[in-house]
């Protein structure tokens, strides 16, 4: 039964209903929850077919409540030896791009539950994992590997031995498309160790001097004792194997605690990442000791790349990284060349160093000295590989938001790198776009390079008028750009894939305020005129709300910072005739280093007026006006950190939003609620503590006492002991006595998000209740940071609707 606690008799109507268990909201909200969802598409390597996977309805609480292990920061399904997952593809077909026709498939298993899928590089097959339930005939639950023969239009189970999918999907195509590398549940693994319930002794932890300051974030689901450690080791142990297309399996080496696999482009080697002891009770498995090795295709270790010990925390700062070798991968344009990065400042951004990172590479047989590929003044952020003389390397420094992209020649690393772009990662208006990549014959992504070393750039096209996605052709030689495509009113068009080499044929989604996104092929002929061909015709998901009105509005904060929001109004509403409505605002603060970036427009006026259950738009169906995603920037200028003036800026953001909707006549000051999820919930509680702008707040899955996250939160880099006044001032828990308006808090009982432990909501409610305030706490069983079960979502809307009706809809001045 859902847990409910109320602080005042005024909430007894909600409490009485909730005592009967999960409740349903009014019918208009139920209809939004149960709306059919559009299928997902996976484009084939040759870009002439797509796998269409049906997205199922929300799972029942009986599914979400199935056994789940919480070990070392991971959530594991013990029945299937896979990571916990509650949404699966329930149908599969192919879509022919040329004819726009769906192709049915024979042989799909009953009760299909697709977890992952992957095309073979040659497109003749598609592999997918199916989560099988235990059946009455004795079939065991597990992750099964199935294979689609594209020419035959038929599927079959490829392996009788279940996959291990605790880490990753458990299967990877070989570059020649003739088989796959698998991560199997070992045949001789045996039963999971059973907890005795009797402790063998206390659990101990030590801290030694001289290690230097480390950021130890607050993580959930950590190991607690040796019994947990043994259970974790059992479930992450896997057996590597090769399987051919006929189903013949050959095991490779011995089982190990594998956490990652990467096949070399030439198909002769693969990388494995393994977890090693000792484990930790302080950090998740991602920080446990790690061993990275190169193996041949018989599974024999031929080279050890890295042996990293347990790493309990990093130096302070968002630019901190591990010392030593990190980011190990393969060079995509070579058969077997390792690439990795090593910090030159010990991974500590506080250490002055002209060179922060060095990127190295070493080719098979891995016995020569490593070559320096690049020396960077900030942190390595990835490489887009093209060919032997052309790749694009990106570096970034979060502290200043400085972003640089370099042209490098992988086969001539001594050649001086050429700067292609330098700017700010938060400046959306100047973003040139991301290079378009194309899978090569072995299935690896490479730059799509045209004549004269031209590449294609795919960008969001942010501007003061909203987002207008584009495709540019960019010459790396002349630095000239040619715009090949840009979204144009009255539609919002977003490129999914470039279908040919010159960018004249695109797969895109197209939508308008009254038309949901559908897939189209956009082709520009010799006459230069673009033609759109519909691939899908998904109907409007909520036709009862087709008349919803939406406007992208601009307004200004008192200090001159420009702000943006999406104003949504119910169908048929006219301000002059109907007057102001009760309003729900829904926001999420964001940190910036410049006021100009903070004031940039986000979103588009031409996007679909989607009404979903997760955000605030659902309450349009109940007669509320909605201000969705109003800008709540928190700006830090120069050496000042954004959070140094968090409260003043937060209040200014809220005042500007309230003033604007009142000025427009769509809302009135005494009938506005504020809400948010996670950091938005934190914002909500702070606004109720420091203003009387809102009659009620809706806070979901939030954190309210920042001393419980003492080594940083959100993008705050400083630990509590370096900025105690900031932590104290920003914590609404410290100001619970000032909360005079009604606060509804909803939280998943099993929140897996770092920092938003359920105790945050429990203690905040206890404080408000003890101080005589108006609050309600709803704890959703078996739910995590985001809620998954249909019953939970329905109950969330029931509670929210009841709270808004009680405290906002008919509120008096």
Q: What is the DSSP letter of 165?
A: B
Nearest to 28, CA basis, from 799, 613, 750: 613
- Greatest alpha-carbon span in the chain: 80
DSSP SS3 for 337: strand
Sole residue written with tokens 């828990």:
733
Active-site residue list: 678, 751, 785
Structure token digits, residue 263? 């096949």
In what helix (H) or strand (E) does residue 654 lie, and over which residues does it extend? Answer: helix 646-663
Q: What are phi and psi of 14, to 5 degrees?
A: -65, -40
Gap between the Cα atoms of 672 and 691, Å rounded = 13
Nearest to 734, CA basis, from 674, 798, 673, 686: 686
Residues whose CB is less than 8 angstroms from the CB of residue 461 and which lie 6 or more positions away in sequence, other chains included: 467, 468, 469, 470, 486, 487
CB half-sphere exposure, 423, CA atoms < 13 A: 12
Gap between the Cα atoms of 789 and 60, Å rounded = 5
CA angle 353, 286, 789 (to 5 degrees): 130
The answer to whether 493 and 480 have CB atoms below 8 angstroms apart is no
Gap between the Cα atoms of 657 and 627, Å rounded = 9
DSSP SS3 for 427: coil
Cis status of the peptide bond prior to 365, with omega within 30 of 0? yes
Residues whose CB is less than 8 angstroms from the CB of residue 639 and which lie 6 or more positions away in sequence, other chains included: none
Sole residue written with tokens 């049906």:
54
- Chain-centroid distance, C-alpha 391: 27
Structure token digits, residue 577? 């005739």
- Chain-centroid distance, C-alpha 204: 35
How many C-beta atoms lie closer than 10 Å to residue 286's C-beta? 13
Gap between the Cα atoms of 686 and 681, Å rounded = 9
Q: What is the CA radius of gyration of the chain?
A: 28
Residues whose CB is less than 8 angstroms from the CB of residue 724 and which lie 6 or more positions away in sequence, other chains included: none
The answer to whether 794 and 24 have CB atoms below 8 angstroms apart is yes
Q: Kindly give the pairing relationship between strand 696-700 and strand 742-748.
A: parallel
Q: What are phi and psi of 664, to 5 degrees?
A: -75, -10
Nearest to 761, CA basis, from 798, 782, 736, 741: 736
Residues in the chain: 813
Gap between the Cα atoms of 643 and 464, Å rounded = 26
Q: What are phi and psi of 300, to 5 degrees?
A: -80, 135
DSSP SS3 for 292: strand
In what helix (H) or strand (E) does residue 733 lie, and over which residues does it extend? Answer: none
CB half-sphere exposure, 64, CA atoms < 13 A: 21
Structure token digits, residue 569? 């109004």
The answer to whether 88 and 54 have CB atoms below 8 angstroms apart is no
DSSP SS3 for 597: helix
Cis status of the peptide bond prior to 490, with omega within 30 of 0? yes
Identify the sign of the CA torsion 807, 808, 809, 813: positive
Structure token digits, residue 651? 């209040």
Structure token digits, residue 803? 């709270």
């Amino acid at each position: 039964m859902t847990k409910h606690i109320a602080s005042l008799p005024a909430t007894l109507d909600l409490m009485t209903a909730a005592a009967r268990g999960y409740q349903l909201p009014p019918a208009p909200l139920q209809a939004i929850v149960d709306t059919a969802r559009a299928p997902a598409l996976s484009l084939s390597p040759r870009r002439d077919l797509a796998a269409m996977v049906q997205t199922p309805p929300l799972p029942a609480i009986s599914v979400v409540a199935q056994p789940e292990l919480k070990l070392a920061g991971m959530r594991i399904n013990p029945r299937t030896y896979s990571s916990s997952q509650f949404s699966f593809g329930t149908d599969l077909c192919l879509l022919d791009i040329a004819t726009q026709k769906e192709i049915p498939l024979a042989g799909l298993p009953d009760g299909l539950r697709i977890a992952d899928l992957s095309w073979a590089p040659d497109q003749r097959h598609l592999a997918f994992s199916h989560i099988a339930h235990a059946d009455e005939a004795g079939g065991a639950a597990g992750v099964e590997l199935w294979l689609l023969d594209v020419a035959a239009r038929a599927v079959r189970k490829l392996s009788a031995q279940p996959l291990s999918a605790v880490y990753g999907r458990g299967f990877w195509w070989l570059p020649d498309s003739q088989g796959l590398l698998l991560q199997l549940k070992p045949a001789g693994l045996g039963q999971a160790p059973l907890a005795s319930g009797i402790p063998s002794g206390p659990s101990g932890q030590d801290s030694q001097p001289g290690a230097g300051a480390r950021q130890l974030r607050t993580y959930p689901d950590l190991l607690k004792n040796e019994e947990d450690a043994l259970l974790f080791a059992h479930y992450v142990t896997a057996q590597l194997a090769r399987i051919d297309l006929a189903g013949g399996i050959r095991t490779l080496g011995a089982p190990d605690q594998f956490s990652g696999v990467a096949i070399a482009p030439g198909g002769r080697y693969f990388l494995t990442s393994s977890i090693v002891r000792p484990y930790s009770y302080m950090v998740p498995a991602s920080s446990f000791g790690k061993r990275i090795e190169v193996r041949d295709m018989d599974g024999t270790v031929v080279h050890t790349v890295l042996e990293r010990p347990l790493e309990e925390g990093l130096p302070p700062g968002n630019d901190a990284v591990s010392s030593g070798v990190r980011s190990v991968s393969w060079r995509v344009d070579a058969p077997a060349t390792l690439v990795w990065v090593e910090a030159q400042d010990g991974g500590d951004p506080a250490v002055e160093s002209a060179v922060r990172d060095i990127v190295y590479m070493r080719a098979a047989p891995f016995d020569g000295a490593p070559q320096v590929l690049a020396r960077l003044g900030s942190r390595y952020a990835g490489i887009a590989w093209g060919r032997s003389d052309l790749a694009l390397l990106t570096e970034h420094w979060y502290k200043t938001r400085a972003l640089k992209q370099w042209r490098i020649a992988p086969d001539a690393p001594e050649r001086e790198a050429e700067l292609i772009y330098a700017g700010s990662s938060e400046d959306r208006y100047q973003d040139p776009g991301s290079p378009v990549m194309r899978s090569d014959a072995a299935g690896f992504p490479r730059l799509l390079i045209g004549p004269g070393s031209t590449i294609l750039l795919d960008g969001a096209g942010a501007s003061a008028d909203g987002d207008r996605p584009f495709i540019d052709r960019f010459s790396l030689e002349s630095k000239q750009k040619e715009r090949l495509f840009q979204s144009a009113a009255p539609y919002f068009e977003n490129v999914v894939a470039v279908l040919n080499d010159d960018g004249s044929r695109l797969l895109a989604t197209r939508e308008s305020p009254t038309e949901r996104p559908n897939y189209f092929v956009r082709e520009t002929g010799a006459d230069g005129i673009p033609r759109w061909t519909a691939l899908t015709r998904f109907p409007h998901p909520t036709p009862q709300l087709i008349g919803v009105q939406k406007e992208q509005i601009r307004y200004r904060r008192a200090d001159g910072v420009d702000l943006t929001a999406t104003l949504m109004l119910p169908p048929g509403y006219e301000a002059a005739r109907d007057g102001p409505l009760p309003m729900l605002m829904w926001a999420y603060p964001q940190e910036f280093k410049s006021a100009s970036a903070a004031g940039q427009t986000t979103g588009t006026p031409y996007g679909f007026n989607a009404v979903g259950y997760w955000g605030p738009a659902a309450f349009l169906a109940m007669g509320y006006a909605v201000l969705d995603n109003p800008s709540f920037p928190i700006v830090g200028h120069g050496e000042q950190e954004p959070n140094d003036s968090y409260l003043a800026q937060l209040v200014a953001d809220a005042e500007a939003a309230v003033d604007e909707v009142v000025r427009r006549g769509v809302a009135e000051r005494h009938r506005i609620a504020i809400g948010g999820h996670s950091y938005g919930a934190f914002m909500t509680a702070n606004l109720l503590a420091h203003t009387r702008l809102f009659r009620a707040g809706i806070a979901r899955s939030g954190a309210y006492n920042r001393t419980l996250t003492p080594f940083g939160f959100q993008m705050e880099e400083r630990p509590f002991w370096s900025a105690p006044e900031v932590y104290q001032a920003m914590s609404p828990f410290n100001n619970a006595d000032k909360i005079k308006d009604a606060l509804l808090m909803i939280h998943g009982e099993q929140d897996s998000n770092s920092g938003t432990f359920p105790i945050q909501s429990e203690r905040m409610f206890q404080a408000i209740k003890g101080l005589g305030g108006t609050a309600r706490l709803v704890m959703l069983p078996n739910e995590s940071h985001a809620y998954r079960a249909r019953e939970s979502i329905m109950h969330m809307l029931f509670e929210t609707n009841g709270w808004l009706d009680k405290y906002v809809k008919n509120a008096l001045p």
